[in-house]
Amino acid sequence: MEKQISTQRQGATAAAAAAAKARRALASLETSMEAMQGRRNDVLEQAVIEQVTLPMSDAEGPTDMDIDGGPRPSNNNHADTAGGALDLRNKQLDYSSLPRALRAVDMPVRARDEREVQMRAHVEEVAGQLSNTAPNLKVYNKGGVE
């Protein structure tokens, strides 16, 4: 009888330890989720500041993809963030217009890093082209151009 009680106590202790571990894991995941939501909000706010139009869809599910991997039907709302008054809490970015390779969420870290490097290089290239086409404002300020 005492052996059974001891076994039950060990089982209860193990269950309590597993429950505590699960609570810690849940707390960690909630913290990560809050951090990701904060980063998402920062990106959306930056889009508002830079007056970028984002393709948005109503938040109807947990992902922007159907179960079969195809894009979810979208009502093609475009978040015209230039107004700045748009409530983006109930909206999700609509990735259906992206090529399938760019929508892959299970992309290996190395491939994702390579894509990020390529994208940054492209952005820098375009920014350089834009800066070359910008007028020389120093000349205008000196009154040299009429």
At 60-112, the pLDDT tens digits run 554 444 433 444 444 444 444 444 445 666 677 787 887 777 777 777 888 88
The residue with greater pLDDT, 12 or 60, is 12
Amino acid 59: pLDDT: 63
Q: In the prediction, which pLDDT does 139 show?
A: 67
Stated pTM of the model: 0.45
* Per-residue exposure over 43-67, b if at least 16 CB sit within 10 Å of its own CB, e if not: ebeebbeeeeebbbbeeeeeebeee
Please report the pLDDT score of residue 75 as a whole number.
43
Domain ranges of the chain: 1-50, 51-98, 107-146
Q: Is the dihedral of CA 34, 51, 58, 120 positive or negative?
A: negative
- pLDDT of 9: 92
The type of residue at 71 is: P
Mean pLDDT of 35-46: 87
Confidence (pLDDT) at 122: 92
Please tell me the predicted confidence (pLDDT) of residue 5: 92
Give, in degrees to the nearest 5, the angle at Cα 33 between 97 and 42.
Answer: 60
Task: State the pLDDT at residue 73.
Answer: 42
Instruction: Dump pLDDT digits (tens) for 48-65.
Output: 888 888 887 776 554 444
State the pLDDT at residue 34: 92
pLDDT digits over 132-142, tens only? 776 666 666 66
Q: What is the 3-state secondary structure (H, E, C) of the chain?
A: CHHHHHHHHHHHHHHHHHHHHHHHHHHHHHHHHHHHHHHHHHHHHHHHHCCCEEEEEECCCCCCECCCCCECCCCCEEEECCCCCCCCCCEEECCCCCCHHHHCCCCCHHHHHHHHHHHHHHHHHHHHHHHHHCCCHHHHHHCCCC
